[in-house]
Amino acid sequence: MSDNEAEFREFVAARMDALRGLAYLTCGDWQLAEDAVLAALARLYVRWGRVDNPDAYARTAVVRAAIDETRRPWWRREQSLSHAMPDVVDDDVTPAVDERLRLRAALLRVPVHHRAVLVLRFLEGLSVPQTAAALRCPEGTVKAYTSRGLDALRRILGADPGIDERTEARYEVV
């Protein structure tokens, strides 16, 4: 095994869970997220020796692949029932878990590009220029999608009768 291959394996072992989570939050489906991560890592493997910042490259490739996965027509997707994650999640008695589930459900109702920007900005902690570079779009687009995405989240969360004003204030980002 070459040094490059060993480095790549170490990178994948260290970043796989984070990349899966990023893809899942972007596309909202565990199987599609797994496909997106594997496709992105396959592209990264081919370019491994030439990529300056593998972490940024992988993050960008995963978000773009996850967005592409949501665009695929339903008839092109494989339907696997044996390993499918259940759609119904049992309510947990822990309020923090309930809030996260409600936020996740609301996030899945936001348009995919807005969701990708929100995930990169607020969950991955990227700045506006870093997000623009990751999505290969102008900074103004990132700002507009951030604003529209947050407005959509506020509307969705505000329409939920289980959200009170204290909970909604926690989700607001100034």
pLDDT tens track, the chain, 174 positions: 678 889 999 999 999 999 999 999 888 888 888 999 999 999 999 998 898 899 999 999 999 988 887 776 554 555 555 555 556 555 545 677 778 888 889 999 999 999 999 999 998 899 999 999 999 999 999 999 999 999 999 999 886 444 444 444 444 443
- CB distance 27 to 33 below 8 Å: yes
CA 19/CA 25 separation, integer angstroms: 10
CA 67/CA 81 separation, integer angstroms: 22
Amino acid letter at 133?
A
Closest alpha carbon to 132 in 65, 56, 73, 32:
56
Query: What is the value of pTM for the model shown?
Result: 0.58
Amino acid letter at 126?
L
Provide the token pair at 59: 């993050």
CA 26/CA 63 separation, integer angstroms: 7
Provide the token pair at 109: 């109702």
Residue labelled with tokens 């989700």: 171
Q: Domains for the chain: give ranges and CATH numbers.
A: 1-74 (1.10.1740), 93-174 (1.10.10.10)
CA 88/CA 53 separation, integer angstroms: 38
